[in-house]
Amino acid sequence: MTKSLYMHISTPISKHAFLILSVFILGLVSCKKDTVEEVVKGEVKVKLVNAVYNESKTNVFFDNLKITNSSLAFGESSDYFKVASGSKMVSFVNESSTSTQNILNFTPSLVYTTYLIADRTGSKELISYEDNLSNTEIGKAKIRLANLSPYFSTGINVSVEAGTQFVNGLMYKEFSNYFTVDAGLNLRFNVVGSGNIKTILGTALEAGKIYTIWFSGTNTTSLEAHIVTNN
């Protein structure tokens, strides 16, 4: 009995079975390798915005490679750049060589805008949001709103000129959903609780265009809207 069991266990695997097993293992390795390469080879489009009040001009680097053609002053935005997807060390470097950097993750085939912002203490950081560049309705503009000022504890209201309010109390670092508005229609905005109402002229909003409108300011008087065209 002992001899029979020993012979059964030590019987070599057949050449046919070994060949099948080898092909299966190679297939798994090949699939895993192809998946990794697909992610690495992906691309994204990224727009850059300097949203720090009184910040000197900045250049932007991805993994220590400069991608801006010209430096960005406060309120300025770049065109879209194509960069490889994945985790990137993004650095905004001003004229004093002070760098604000963070590792940001970019998913292949998506579109982003990355903002340099600062809180009340002047501490700077980078935030990145996905842009939706899908088609707009005929005769309308598509807009998204962002409060990038840390000075308004009550938030910001935005409405169309006719009085219909579609953003109420937008807080610091908050981005609204996208809205469609009639091209040429004025928009009104103000700090919540303030009667100092300001206007975005409808002539700045074209049909078929997509915009991100972000707000800056240190008080109700200096509250300002900045329009970034996304398409």
Rounded average pLDDT over 183-210: 94
| Positive/negative CA dihedral, 169, 177, 115, 206 | negative
Q: Which residue has the higher pLDDT, 115 or 165?
A: 115
Rounded average pLDDT over 155-164: 85
What tokens were used for 111? Answer: 């579109």
| Pairing assessment for the beta strands 111-118 and 43-50 based on DSSP bridges | parallel
**Tokens 């406060």 — which residue?**
74
CB burial string 44-61: b at 16+ within 10 A, e below: bbbbbbbbbbebeebbbb
Question: pLDDT > 70: what percent of the chain?
Answer: 81
C-alpha to C-alpha distance for 48 and 68, rounded to whole angstroms: 9
pTM here is 0.80
The full set of domains in the chain, from first to last, is 42-131 (2.60.40.2890), 135-231 (2.60.40)
Alpha helices in 45-155 (DSSP H): none
Rounded average pLDDT over 158-169: 84
- Checking if the pLDDT of 158 tops 70, the result is yes
Residue 212 Cα to chain centre, angstroms = 11
What tokens were used for 89? Answer: 């060390």
Indicate the residue type of 160: V
| Pairing assessment for the beta strands 224-229 and 210-216 based on DSSP bridges | antiparallel
Per-residue pLDDT of 21-80, as tens digits, reads: 444 444 444 444 444 444 446 999 999 999 999 898 999 999 999 999 999 999 999 999
Sheet holding 65-66, edge to edge: 65-66, 58-62, 86-94, 99-106
Q: Which residue has the higher pLDDT, 181 or 2?
A: 181
Per-residue pLDDT of 118-152, as tens digits, reads: 999 999 999 999 999 998 889 999 999 999 999 99
Phi, psi of 198 (to 5 degrees): -115, 165
